[in-house]
Amino acid sequence: VYLELLAKIDTVLLDKTGTLTYGKPHVALIDPVDGYEADELLRIAAAAERNSEHPLALAVVTAAQEKQLVIGEPSSFSYTPGKGVHATVDGHTIAVGNAAFLEEASVSLPALSNSAGARVLVAREGRFIGAIHIADQVRDGASEAIRELQEMGLQIELLTGDTGASANAIAESIGIRQVFSGLLPEQKSARVDELIHLGRTVAMIGDGINDAPALSHAHVGVAMGSGTEIAHASANVLLIGNDLRKFAATVRTARWCRAVILQNFYGTLVVDALGIALAAIGVINPLLAAFIHVSSELMFILNSTRLLPR
């Protein structure tokens, strides 16, 4: 079933963090407001994020650990997928997440400059106290994989919860033209549903909790080997390793396999129909008809051997 679907795919949707990038982002810049030191901002954010499994949260916690900062244990913690976390640290209410998340919490934000990387905003007791800028690295082979998929005529789209500046920078570097940024998990799955409604055959490639709904909605959900257990459970196909070129090779193989199957199927119909017709009007005798049938079947078997590894 999935061989057929992979051969028919005409649209590929990709997550960014952990899929197109290594998913091991690192803190590139700490930008506190007046009255806070960079280490203090990092410590507060790390304490709030320490129970989160999101790659950006892990980057913040790792940076704090590398600086040997004392990271407090939150007395309460809640996570909103695709947005951020609320936590209580040392008796203070902390919110860490994207701009929409803080605005929903009635936090007044200053004018924020565009950033090519991801950005984590931090608020304490409802007051904005700074931003942490996080960078990631594009996976080896990602650009080549995208080029191969595009050469096969597939429509490629990037779906991410990151900011437009971050998403566009990654997309431009690897040749993706259609970018949807700032998406929540349900918005990713809504895009999948929209394309399916338009008659497209959709593959979704992702690795995280935020991708799980979209993976389960797509015709073929593909989880990265390093992805979360939820992503693995939601996907139809697990990519061994994390090389997107393997997915491009899989699609090419599926198309090649389907083409050979159709050649054999229609070839058999044509030969058998022609043989029956010629036998019916007496042009060929039963012995010759049997020889033609066996010879054609042998030819189709030999045609199938083209699928064997070389």
Q: What positions carry a catalytic annotation? A: 15
Nearest one of 254, 154, 163, 255 to 205, comparing CA atoms: 154
CA–CA dist 65, 24 (Å, integer): 15
CA–CA dist 166, 136 (Å, integer): 10
Q: What share of the chain is helix, strand, coil (3-state, %, to 5)?
A: 45, 20, 30
- Sheet with 84-89: strands ordered across: 26-32, 127-135, 118-124, 92-97, 84-89, 76-80
Give kind and range of the element (H or E) at residue 88. Answer: strand 84-89
CA–CA dist 96, 167 (Å, integer): 20
- What phi and psi values does residue 13 have, to the nearest 5 degrees? -110, 135
Give the angle subtended at the CA of 78 by the CAs of 109 and 56, to the nearest 5°: 65
As a dihedral over the C-alpha atoms of residue 247, residue 54, residue 13, residue 250, rounded to 10 degrees, the angle is 10
